[in-house]
């Protein structure tokens, strides 16, 4: 597996896919309505990445295997020596083959390069596959938000 800084062209594809995916996840979790989800997702991404892949303290990477792009991850250097994982994506046909675990190891290496001593992330409760991966590589739950529809 090869990890490369995301190019401008890769970022444009990443941004489009990520906005759609994030909107779907926020809708599925009950945070947003389907009608408002795309606009809200676009606004969040614009707020977080105002200079795109060149936004200060944000680090976006593409993952390659045999010269084929199969995934990406987005990290941000936060205060208090913390790196926040905003996004990890492995293309569907590459899932279940250990690439997620490899990506998480690469993230840890990048966090160390950024002088971090802690990595944080958010995962949607319904994303049990990702939650299992994160727990397998040593992440622990620190907060839980619960809701009840009435």
Each domain of the chain, given as residue ranges in start order, spans: 2-136
The third-level CATH classification (topology) of the domain covering 2-136 is Aminopeptidase (3.40.630)
CA–CA separation, 48 and 46 (whole Å):
6
Q: For the chain, 150 residues long, give each residue's pLDDT as a single digit of tens.
A: 999 999 999 999 999 999 999 999 999 999 999 999 999 999 999 999 999 999 999 999 999 999 999 999 999 999 999 999 999 999 999 999 999 999 999 999 999 999 999 999 999 999 999 999 999 999 999 998 888 889
CA–CA separation, 42 and 133 (whole Å):
28
**C-beta of residue 20 within 8 angstroms of C-beta of residue 92:** no
Q: How many CB atoms lie within 10 A of CB 62?
A: 19
């Amino acid at each position: 597996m090869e990890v490369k800084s995301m190019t401008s062209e890769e970022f444009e594809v990443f941004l489009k896919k990520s906005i759609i995916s994030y909107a779907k996840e926020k809708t599925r979790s009950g945070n947003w309505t389907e009608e408002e989800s795309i606009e809200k997702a676009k606004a969040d991404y614009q707020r977080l990445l105002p200079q795109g892949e060149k936004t200060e303290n944000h680090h976006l990477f593409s993952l390659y295997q045999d010269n084929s792009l199969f995934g990406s991850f987005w990290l941000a250097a936060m205060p208090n020596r913390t790196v926040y994982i905003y996004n990890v994506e492995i293309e569907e046909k590459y899932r279940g083959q250990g690439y997620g675990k490899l990506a998480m190891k690469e993230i840890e290496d990048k966090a160390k390069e950024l002088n971090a001593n802690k990595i944080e992330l958010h995962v949607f409760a319904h994303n049990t596959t990702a939650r299992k991966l994160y727990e397998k590589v040593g992440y622990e739950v620190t907060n839980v938000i619960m809701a009840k529809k009435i």
